[in-house]
Amino acid sequence: MVQKDAYEALEHKIMALRENSRTGDERKTLDEVFDRDTILGIYKLMTDGYIDTIQYPVSTGKEGNVFAAADAEGKLYALKVYRTSNATFNRIAKYIEGDKRFKGLSGSRRKIIYAWASKEFRNLQRLEDVGVKVPSPIRYYRNMLVMQYIGSKAGPAPLLRQVTLDDPEEVYSTLIEYMRLAYQEAKLVHADLSEYNILYYRKRPVIIDVGQAVLTDHVNAKDFLLRDIENVNRFFRGLEVSILSRDEALRTITEASK
Ligand SMILES: Nc1ncnc2c1ncn2[C@@H]1O[C@H](COP(=O)(O)OP(=O)(O)OP(=O)(O)O)[C@@H](O)[C@H]1O
Ligand SMILES: [Mg+2]
* The last residue of a domain, from among 131, 152, 173: 152
Q: Which residues of 204-233 are buried (b: 16+ CB within 10 A; e: fewer)?
A: ebbbbbbbbbbbbebeebeebbebbbebbb
Tens digits of per-residue pLDDT, 197-227?
999 999 999 999 999 999 999 999 999 999 9
Ligand 1 geometric centre to CA of 91 (Å): 17
Residue 177, pLDDT > 60, answer yes
Residue 1, pLDDT > 60, answer no
Total tally of structural domains belonging to the chain: 2
Active site (annotated) includes residue 5: no
* Same-domain status, 139 and 22: yes
* Same-domain status, 24 and 148: yes
CA distance 249 to 237: 14
Tell me which residue range forms the domain holding 73.
4-152
Q: Tell whether ligand 1 has an atom less than 6 A from the beta carbon of residue 69.
A: no
pLDDT for 213:
96
Atom index in ligand 1 nearest the CA of residue 158 equals 31
Residue 249, pLDDT > 70, answer yes
Share of the chain above pLDDT 70, in %: 98
pLDDT for 79:
97
Q: Tell whether ligand 1 has an atom less than 6 A from the beta carbon of residue 206.
A: no
pLDDT for 109:
82
Active site (annotated) includes residue 129: no
pTM over 0.85: yes
* Same-domain status, 93 and 174: no
**Amino acid in the structure at residue 139:** R
Confidence band for 148, pLDDT divided at 50, 70 and 90: very high
Tens digits of per-residue pLDDT, 27-59?
776 777 788 888 999 999 999 999 999 998 899
CATH label of the domain that carries residue 193: 1.10.510.10
* Same-domain status, 14 and 93: yes
* Same-domain status, 144 and 240: no
* Same-domain status, 28 and 61: yes
* Same-domain status, 118 and 200: no
Q: Which of 25, 166, 167, 192 is catalytic?
A: 192
* Same-domain status, 92 and 60: yes
* Same-domain status, 30 and 145: yes
Confidence band for 190, pLDDT divided at 50, 70 and 90: very high
CA distance 146 to 138: 5
User: Mean pLDDT highest for which of 81-85, 114-118, 131-135?
Assistant: 131-135
Atom index in ligand 1 nearest the CA of residue 192 equals 27
* Same-domain status, 126 and 198: no
CATH label of the domain that carries residue 79: 3.30.200.20
Residue with CA nearest ligand 1 atom 5: 156
Mean pLDDT of 134-140: 98
Q: Tell whether ligand 1 has an atom less than 6 A from the beta carbon of residue 70.
A: no
